[in-house]
Amino acid sequence: MKFTLSSTALSGKLTALSRVINNKNSLPILADFIFEIDNNVLYLTASDSENMMHTSVELNESDGNIKFAIGNHDLFEAVKGFSEQPITFEVNQQENTARILYQNGVFSLPIESADEFPQAQEIETNATEITIASDILADNINRSLFATAQDELRPVMNGIYFDLTPECLSIVASDGHKLVRNKIFTIKSDVPAAFILPKKPANLLKNLLTKDGGDVTIRFDERNAEINYGDGTLKCRLIEGRYPNYNSVIPQSNPNQITVDRIALLSALRRVQPFANGSSNLIRFRMDNGILQLDAEDFDFSKTATEKMSCEYNGQPMSIGFKGSAFIEILSNFDCPEIIIQLADPSRAGLVLPSEQPENQDVLMLMMPMLLNE
C-alpha cells in the first residue's frame, strides 16, 4: 500500500496532534498516531484516553484504503524538519513496517494494528449544541485560562466553566482569588445548560483555533464534549461537579472608579513588584486627586519602591492591597489601551474592566484584596 502527500501539510497536522499525547501512557498504543486512508483522504487521530483529536489531509495520490498505528515521536521528529516536498509512505502490513521516502533519503518505522486503540465516548443524542465564532472562542479561552485553579480538593475550579442561560453564554474561570467572567450576548438558550472544560483541551483549542472567522460547534452532555472546528474534531471528558455561584462574589456597587493606561500600569507594576515581600507579593495601591501611587516593601531585606502615575479617579481617597503578580496577570490578559478599576472599600473585591467592551460581549475580571498593615 502506497500513498503520497505534502510534507508541510503532514507536519502541521502532526504538530497539533502531538500535543494530545502524554509522555507516559496507560496503554502503549496511546503513544501512537492512527493513520486511516479512505478515498484518497488521510484521517489522523491521537488520544490520551480522556481527549481525542481527529483531523484530515488530502492526499496527492493513494492506491487503496488502510488503517494502522505508528509511534508518534520518531515520525514527528523526522517529518517536522522537512522543507516543502512530497513524501511517500510504503506500508507493508505483513511485515509491520512503513518506509517513508523523501527527496534525499528514506527511513523505516515499525507499525502496529490500530484495533486496540480506544474509542471516544459517544455524545448522547439529546446533547446541547452551541455554535460560536472561532475567533471569539479563542479570545475567551485565552483571556480565561490564567485564572483557573490547580486544586486537588475542588477539581471543578480547575477548568473553564461554560454557562448557557436565556440571557447569554458566560465563560468563567476562577481560582478563588481572581475571577474572569466573559458574557457573549449573541449566544443564549431558553433551556439552561453548562459544562466545565478541563485545562488540557482548553489549551489544545487555544493553539488550534484560527482567526479566519469560521464557526466552532460544541456538543456536550453531562460527561463529554465534542468540539468541531475547521478541519478537525476534539472529543474530551468534562470535569463533573457543580461550579460555585460565581455571580454571588461579584460586587454590584463599586462607586470608586479609576481609569488608567493599561500598558503604563502594567510596566509600573513590573518595576515595583521585585521590591515586594517575597511571600505575600503585596502591592499597595493609593488613589487620590488623579494620582495612582504604587508602593512595595520588603523590610526583611530593606527594600522599598514607590511609583506614581496619573489617572482619572472618581471616588474617596483610598489605599488597597493587591497581589502584584496576580494583578500583572490580569492586565496582561486584556488587549485594550485603557482599563477601568472599580472599588468599594479596601476589604472588598476590585473589578477590572476594559474601557471599551468587545462587540456584543461583557468582559469582567475580579481580584480579591490583601490586608494592609497601615
- What's the pLDDT tens digit per position in 154-168? 999 999 999 999 999
What is the structure's pLDDT at 212? 66
- Is the predicted pLDDT of residue 211 greater than 70, yes or no? no
Report the alpha-carbon distance of residue 134 to residue 359 in Å, rounded: 15
- Is the predicted pLDDT of residue 151 greater than 90, yes or no? no
Residue in this structure with the C-alpha cell 502531538, named with its chain if needed: 18
What is the structure's pLDDT at 365? 98
User: From the CA atom positions of the chain, what is the Rg in Å?
Assistant: 25
What is the structure's pLDDT at 374? 62
Report the alpha-carbon distance of residue 64 to residue 68 in Å, rounded: 13
What is the structure's pLDDT at 193? 96
Q: What are phi and psi of 80, to 5 degrees?
A: -70, -15
- Is the predicted pLDDT of residue 64 greater than 70, yes or no? yes
Report the alpha-carbon distance of residue 338 to residue 264 in Å, rounded: 9
3-state secondary structure at position 21: coil
Q: What is the mean pLDDT of residues 232-246?
A: 95
Angle, CA 358 vertex, CA 328 and CA 346 arms, to 5°: 40
For residue 195, the 8-state DSSP code is E
Give the chain's mean pLDDT: 94
What is the structure's pLDDT at 373? 77
- pTM for the model stands at 0.92
Q: What is the mean pLDDT of residues 251-259?
A: 93
- Is the predicted pLDDT of residue 96 greater than 90, yes or no? yes
Confidence of residue 125 (pLDDT cuts 50, 70, 90): confident
What is the structure's pLDDT at 121? 84
What is the structure's pLDDT at 124? 85
Confidence of residue 120 (pLDDT cuts 50, 70, 90): confident
For residue 189, the 8-state DSSP code is -
Report the alpha-carbon distance of residue 96 to residue 352 in Å, rounded: 58
Report the alpha-carbon distance of residue 259 to residue 310 in Å, rounded: 10
- Is the predicted pLDDT of residue 24 greater than 90, yes or no? no
Q: What percent of the chain has pLDDT above 90?
A: 86
What is the structure's pLDDT at 207? 87
- Is the predicted pLDDT of residue 345 greater than 80, yes or no? yes
Q: What is the mean pLDDT of residues 75-84?
A: 89
3-state per-residue secondary structure call for 57-119: EECCEECCCEEEEEEHHHHHHHHCCCCCCEEEEEEECCCCEEEEEECCEEEEEEEECCCCCCC
Q: What are phi and psi of 284, to 5 degrees?
A: -90, 125
Bridge partners, residue 54, by sequence: 45, 233
What is the structure's pLDDT at 231? 84
